[in-house]
Structure 1
Amino acid sequence: MSGLFWRVFAVNACFLALVALLLIVTPVTISAPIAVTEAALVLLGLAIALLVNAVLLRRVFTPLERLVRRMEVVDPLRPGERLAVERDDEIGRVVGAFNRMLDRLESERRESAARVLAAQEAERLGLARDLHDEVGQVLTGVLLELGAIEAEGPAGHESLEEARASVRRALDEVRRISRELRPEMLDELGLVSALTELTRTFARTSGVEVERRFGEALPQLAPATELAVYRVAQESLTNVARHAEATRVAIALEPGASGVVLRVRDDGRGLGGAREQHGGLRSMRERAVLVGGALAVREASGGGVEVRLEVPALDPAVAAREA
């Protein structure tokens, strides 16, 4: 900071030299006791000197003030926000160091978020398999045993039928939980089929009308990107069911400038001021950052909320190798 020190020193030295020069060349005298006009001139000169000094120092410290303001509002979940390096001095080096620090923080956040989400998805996959393979098979076996008991005679037929209905409901619930933990259709049939089934299930269970618009010629996405799009759509629909009090939802998946754009829009009561505090919204933003996408959550024109996620397509060379 030696350069900054000397610039501040130079500003004040020039200011004091100017004051001294004015005292030498101007015919101003101060008598004892001081006269009113002389006091007024001294105070006026002091005010002008302080104003000039403030203006000169302001020019020196303005870049630091901009840096402080950016530090106060920077958000790692909105990557790419950087300060322009306009000076080749200590302040410019501080701004550059701050930008490099943001680069490191965003990179480390992406890597840590990738590890956490990968662990979560692996755990979900294990739980889904256990529910499907273990609990599902046990309940299916119980249904078969109930059928065999029923075939033995009419006694207890009504109780057996009730027990069978309860087991069927439990089996349906296990299958539902298994699908939510890990969307098998996403791995087997692709993103559009998985979103179609997700919206059908949502419409059936919530009673909210769903309008679907899925593009036919969508760019290929990486598996992690497809999963992020699916999870954002799933979380958006969950928020609609829990908070929006909506009657209609429109979901679209269409080609974008360099990838794919997902839009989920409802006609509910809006955000209600809980934009950043909402845990589900923060989770969606983290998933978007992880795959290099951009998420926007805003009030929709005419009421409700619109969630817009844009994610990059898979590199053509990589897509060709995987084809």
Structure 2
Amino acid sequence: MSLFWRIFALNAVVLGAATALLLWAPVTVSVPVLFTEAAVLIGGLAIMLVANAALLRIGLAPLARLTRQMSTVDLLRPGQRLSVTGHGGVPDLLRAFNDMIGRLESERATSAARALSAQESERRRIARELHDEVGQSLTAVLLDLKRAADRSDDPALRVELAQAQETTRSSLDEVRRLAHRLRPGVLEDLGLVSALTALTTELSDHTGLLVRRHFEAGLPKLDEQTELVLYRVAQESLTNVARHADAQRIDLFLTGREGFVVLRIQDDGHGIGLAHEGAGLRGMRERALLIGATLELATAPTGGAEVSLTVPVHGSDA
């Protein structure tokens, strides 16, 4: 029975019962209406309204659950489904909603994979241009300034040329640092542990934060995409701590347990607001979905924030 006919039948039962009661009960209405007659009619109306409201509440309860789920569903947290219960057309509606969420999750995962792949390709291209074009140009300028300073007999001019050399050298270092952040060559050449070591060392040198590394020995071999996701999540987490947490110390853990590799970043700052997730955290969730990983944000034992990425490891890799 469809939802329309179920509601119609419920109302028909209530109204039919009320009509039968009025027909068979020794109740009449006089003119003017007596107080007892008015009390009986108002009481009967109240009973009908309460019964109708209770029956409709029971019949429409699955739709209320569907409304709440629709307002809170998040495609970055897959697996959220409604239990299919009820009668009539309600189970069909719930099943259609669950199927729709499954299709949306699949389409979002596919589009996110393409977008992140294009993003990484663009990062590699920009890093190459920074290193090959801008870096070489700045190196040439630095050599020209050095030759000009060596040929000059004017002390004041030599001082100005030396200052220009320092500015150019600082710019060259910054270009190389940006190219390294865009394309982690250490990750490709030496692996995840070396890349994380270089990343934390660079962060500590530039910000003064104390970064303590805890790498477990004997971690399973991971594929290239999984290592890249772990690296990018660590990079984004460390950047967020340096910019927003007002922390003094960071602990980075890379450990393994049966069937999983876990990356955890803890700080002693003021934490991250859990009510609203920014673009950086949602980007980390999208990357985690690409490899079937789980990203969690919690309060660290040190009082700050803790970002935890749990990556499943296939049996052959483990």
- State the TM-score, normalizing by the size of structure 2: 0.90
Which whole-Å CA distance do the structure 1 matches of 2:294 and 2:309 have between them?
6
- 201-210 or 147-156: bigger deviation: 147-156
Q: 1:35 to 1:88 in 2, by over 3 A?
A: closer
Which whole-Å CA distance do the structure 2 matches of 1:88 and 1:52 have between them?
19
RMSD: 2.4
Q: 1:100-115 maps to which residues of 2 (within 5 A)?
A: 100-115=99-114
In the alignment, residue 310 of structure 1 is paired with which amino acid?
Answer: T
For residue 287 of structure 1, what is the aligned residue in structure 2?
Answer: 287
Q: 1:3 to 1:286 in 2, by over 3 A?
A: same
Partner of 1:11, secondary structure, is helix
- 296-305 or 102-111: bigger deviation: 296-305
Which whole-Å CA distance do the structure 2 matches of 1:224 and 1:64 have between them?
41
Which whole-Å CA distance do the structure 2 matches of 1:244 and 1:5 have between them?
55
Q: 1:293 to 1:220 in 2, by over 3 A?
A: same
For residue 98 of structure 1, what is the aligned residue in structure 2?
Answer: 97
For residue 117 of structure 1, what is the aligned residue in structure 2?
Answer: 116
Are 2:213 and 1:212 aligned? yes
| 8 A Cα contact 1:221 1:312, kept in partner | no
Which whole-Å CA distance do the structure 2 matches of 1:225 and 1:64 have between them?
40
Paired residues, what number?
Answer: 316
For residue 244 of structure 2, what is the aligned residue in structure 1?
Answer: 243
- 105-114 or 140-149: bigger deviation: 140-149
Which whole-Å CA distance do the structure 2 matches of 1:33 and 1:89 have between them?
46
Which whole-Å CA distance do the structure 1 matches of 2:192 and 2:10 have between them?
64
Partner of 1:220, secondary structure, is coil
For residue 185 of structure 2, what is the aligned residue in structure 1?
Answer: 184
| 8 A Cα contact 2:267 2:302, kept in partner | no
- State the TM-score, normalizing by the size of structure 1: 0.89
In the alignment, residue 225 of structure 1 is paired with which amino acid?
Answer: T
For residue 227 of structure 2, what is the aligned residue in structure 1?
Answer: 226
Which whole-Å CA distance do the structure 2 matches of 1:51 and 1:152 have between them?
100
Partner of 2:292, secondary structure, is coil
In the alignment, residue 68 of structure 2 is paired with which amino acid?
Answer: R
Are 2:201 and 1:200 aligned? yes
- 197-206 or 279-288: bigger deviation: 279-288
Q: 1:68-147 maps to which residues of 2 (within 5 A)?
A: 68-87=67-86, 89-144=88-143
| 8 A Cα contact 1:247 1:267, kept in partner | yes
| 8 A Cα contact 1:185 1:193, kept in partner | yes
Which whole-Å CA distance do the structure 1 matches of 2:13 and 2:152 have between them?
111
Q: Deviations over 1:70-114 (max 9, x none)?
A: 011111111111111124641111111111111111111111111
Q: 1:56-75 maps to which residues of 2 (within 5 A)?
A: 56-75=55-74
Q: Deviations over 1:175-234 (max 9, x none)?
A: 101110111111111111111111111111111111211222223333222211111111
Q: 1:241 to 1:312 in 2, by over 3 A?
A: same
Which whole-Å CA distance do the structure 2 matches of 1:46 and 1:153 have between them?
106
CA shift at 1:243, angstroms?
1.0
For residue 42 of structure 1, what is the aligned residue in structure 2?
Answer: 41
Which whole-Å CA distance do the structure 2 matches of 1:259 and 1:155 have between them?
66
| 8 A Cα contact 1:275 1:281, kept in partner | no
Which whole-Å CA distance do the structure 2 matches of 1:213 and 1:87 have between them?
52
| 8 A Cα contact 1:261 1:308, kept in partner | yes
| 8 A Cα contact 2:6 2:88, kept in partner | no
In the alignment, residue 2 of structure 2 is paired with which amino acid?
Answer: G
In the alignment, residue 243 of structure 1 is paired with which amino acid?
Answer: H
Which whole-Å CA distance do the structure 2 matches of 1:272 and 1:100 have between them?
33
Partner of 1:310, secondary structure, is strand
Partner of 1:221, secondary structure, is coil
Partner of 1:130, secondary structure, is helix
